[in-house]
Every structure is written in structure tokens, then in C-alpha cells.
Copies of this chain bind each other. A is one copy, B any other.
Amino acid sequence: MSALTYKLIKKDSKNKARRGEITTPHGVIQTPVFMPVGTAAAVKAMRPEQVEELGAEIILSNTYHLYLRPGHEIVREAGGLHKFMNWNKPILTDSGGFQVFSLGDLRKITEEGVEFRSFIDGSKHMLTPEKSIEIQNALGSDIIMAFDECAPYPAGREYVKNSLERTTRWLKRCKEAHKDTERQALFGIMQGGMYPDLRKQSAEEITQFDLPGYAIGGLSVGEPKEEMCEILDYIDEWLPENKPRYLMGVGTPDYLFEGVERGVDMFDCVLPTRIARNGTAMTSSGVVNIKNAKYERDFTPLDHECDCYTCRNYSRAYLRHMFKSNEIMSSMLLSEHNLHFLVNTMKNMRKAIEEDRFSEYKREFYEKYGY
């Protein structure tokens, strides 16, 4: 019995958008889904009950950060990540690969894995496929990700081809290292940069492993949206229909729509909470920068169409005052709203797919949002 099953509920007849359901040991997830990010075992500035109340059904946490601090053995001793952080719904952990590759000069890639220095104390560490799985096993997340090599953008064809083939070899090692497949579902990651034929090669290679789900890595790494969409255009063809598809690190509303329209089921991004801490909100009528002087005496809610805690109880004038006063409350209230906004937008997408009007909903949303 696999830790994860995917059920396809309905496909939109006019595009590739699909409505599904993922079942994990910690509960069921309606897809397409947006996963709030809780990097260091906390969704920043949010109590877990609040994350749940706003409708999130799964969160993501970062292996790289938890490995370095507090250390995966401490999380294991605490009874696993769910218990440690007081979140009893599904958790997905990434592999740490993306973070260590992003370290630039501070890391060295070999066939064995990646050597890097800690951002906390400069100490030397080695992350390998086996080590990443060991850490994620200790964390006890419901979905664990294979340790892959994410090529930068732009990157030459040879570099990308080598990366994707190494990613396949590492996936083999990950699968062999991961024993308890009834407790945690391992997802493989497709690479291949912006080269459709290499993407196809990667998809063919990773799907050979018959895993419970597949991710699309190496997108949203700096390329123009059109280039990303060109790759996504193929995923419905290249990835099996009966497995969930996860587009990693994507979180602006338009990217979510473009992904869902092409058959993506899962997304994650730090964007909603990060811009919240910077005083920026996503609303049904577009982006609001709460610092703006025009909100000084604006006693209306942040988003007139929103029923989140923040919009039910506070005015733009109050939110601006909180931000200007450097109050933690500012991050708390804007994070709540932004997460609610994306989670609720996904909910609306699911409903639109059920009613076979995803394209219409997308058009309406874009018009109001100002895309």
C-alpha cells in the first residue's frame, strides 16, 4: 500500500485543467492546491490553526533549513515534524537540492552529492540523495522529494543534459534509500531546462520508477513566462494521468492559473508570506502596497471581496499604521490575507473546473487583477 493515492475527479473539457484528490497518511488534499511554505517548521507569522482555518490542506517545509537547524535528529526525537510544529495535516518536504544549488560559490557538486557550507556557522556539510532521504525520513513528512540537480537559467544544452541525467541517477539512489513507502510518498523531479526534448527525456526516465507523484523542477527560475508555459504545454502528455503533478516554487496568481490550465495539481511558494512582511497584499482587484499614503484614512477592508480574518476585522488605515509602526501584527495580518487569497483562488479554480468553466474564471480573474 502506497502512502499516497491520487484520484482524478474531473477534467475541464476546454483545456487540461484537472480536479483531483490526494490521500495521505495525514489527510486528504483537494487539487489543484496551493501549499503555504513553513520553511523552518512554522508558516511565518501564523499559528497552525490559522493556516488550517484559512483553508490550507497541506504545507511545505524545507529539508535544508531543518537539517541545519534544529537538526533532523532533534525533530525525530520530538516525534516528527507534525508533532514538533503542531500541524496535524499533510506536510511535503523538499529535498534541500534547490537550496544548496542556490549557494553558488559556497557549494561543490560531484556525482556523490553536494558539499556546502552552513549559512549559520560556516561548517561543512554534504548532502547526497541518501542523506536527503535520511533527513526527510526523520522529519516524517507525508510527501518527500527526490534529491535533484536544478540547472540555473540560462544554461547550455550540455550542462542541462548532464544535470537531468544525474537527476535520474540520483532518483534511483533516492528510491533505493527510501524504505518506508507506506508512511511517506517519494516524488521524482523532472529537469531539462528550457529544452523540450530534454524535458521529454527526463520525464521518460523518471516515470520509469513508477513513483506516487512527479514534480516539475527547474522552472520559475528566472525565465520569461512564455518559456515556462512552452514546457508546461507538454506535461499532460509526458506525465502519467493517474499521478499528481507538482510545479515547484510557483506562487504568483498568473503562474498558478497557467499551471492549472496545463494540468498541474500542486504548487508552493514563499511569495504570499514574504511580500506580506514587506507590506504588500494580493487582492481581487490587484496588488495593494499598504505603505502607500493614500491608505492613511482608508477605513475600508483590504479586499472588499475577501472574507478572511484580516478583511473581516481591520481597515487599510489600521494595516498601514501597523506596518509603519513596525508592528509584528502587520506581518501576521497580511500573511493571513495573502495565504487566504491564494488558497481561496485555488478553491475557486477547483469549483470552476467542476463546472467546466475554468477558462472563463481565468479570464475574469485576470481582468480584475489587472494582468
Interface residues of A (CB under 8 A from B): 40-42, 44-47, 65, 69-70, 74, 77-79, 84-86, 296-297, 299, 309, 313-315, 317-318, 320-322, 324-325, 327-329, 331-332
- Cβ of B317 and Cβ of A70 under 8 Å apart? yes
Q: Which residues from B are CB-within-8-Å of A327?
A: 40, 42, 44
| A-B pairs with lowest CB-CB distance, top 10 | A45-B328, A70-B321, A42-B329, A40-B325, A86-B313, A42-B327, A78-B299, A328-B328, A84-B318, A328-B331
Q: Are A297 and B77 in contact (CB under 8 A)?
A: yes
B332 touching A40, Cβ below 8 Å? no
Is B315 in contact with A84, judged by CB distance below 8 angstroms? Answer: yes
Bound: A243/B137 CA distance, A: 63
Q: Are B74 and A329 in contact (CB-based, < 8 A)?
A: no
- Report the bound CA distance from A321 to B71 in whole Å: 10
CA–CA, A65 to B322, complex, Å? 12
Chain B residue contacts of A320, Cβ below 8 A: 70
**How far, in whole Å, are A220 and B299 apart by their CA atoms in the complex?**
39
- Cα A313 to Cα B315 in complex, Å, equals 31
Q: A328 contacts which of B77, B84, B324, B332 (Cβ < 8 Å)?
A: B332
B317 touches A78 (CB 8 A): yes
Q: Return A69 CB to nearest CB of chain B, in Å.
A: 6
- Which residues of B sit under 8 angstroms from A47, Cβ to Cβ? 309, 329, 332
By the criterion CB–CB under 8 Å, are A74 and B297 in contact? yes
Question: Which of B45, B309, B318, B324 is close to A329, meaning CB atoms less than 8 Å apart?
Answer: B45
B85 touches A41 (CB 8 A): no
B321 & A69 in contact (Cβ 8 Å cutoff): yes
A299 to B20: give the CA distance in the assembly, Å. Answer: 38
Q: A40-B321, A318-B41, A325-B40 are in contact. Are A296 and B70 (CB under 8 A)?
A: yes
CA distance A314 to B41 in the complex (A): 12
Smallest CB separation, A84 vs chain B (Å): 6
B78–A315 touching, CB < 8 Å: yes
Cα–Cα distance between A316 and B317 once the two chains are bound (Å): 37
Give complex CA distance A320, B84 in Å.
Answer: 12
Q: A325-B40, A328-B332, A329-B44 are in contact. Are A318 and B78 (CB under 8 A)?
A: yes
In the assembled complex, which residues on chain B have CB atoms less than 8 Å from the CB atom of A321?
40-41, 69-70, 74
Give complex CA distance A100, B363 in Å: 56
C-alpha spacing A297/B46, complex, angstroms: 24
User: What is the CB-to-nearest-CB distance from A169 to chain B, in angstroms, rounded to a whole number?
Assistant: 34
Q: Which of A74, A296, A318, A320 has the most CB of B within 10 A?
A: A318
Q: How far apart are A197's CB and chain B's nearest CB, in angstroms?
A: 42
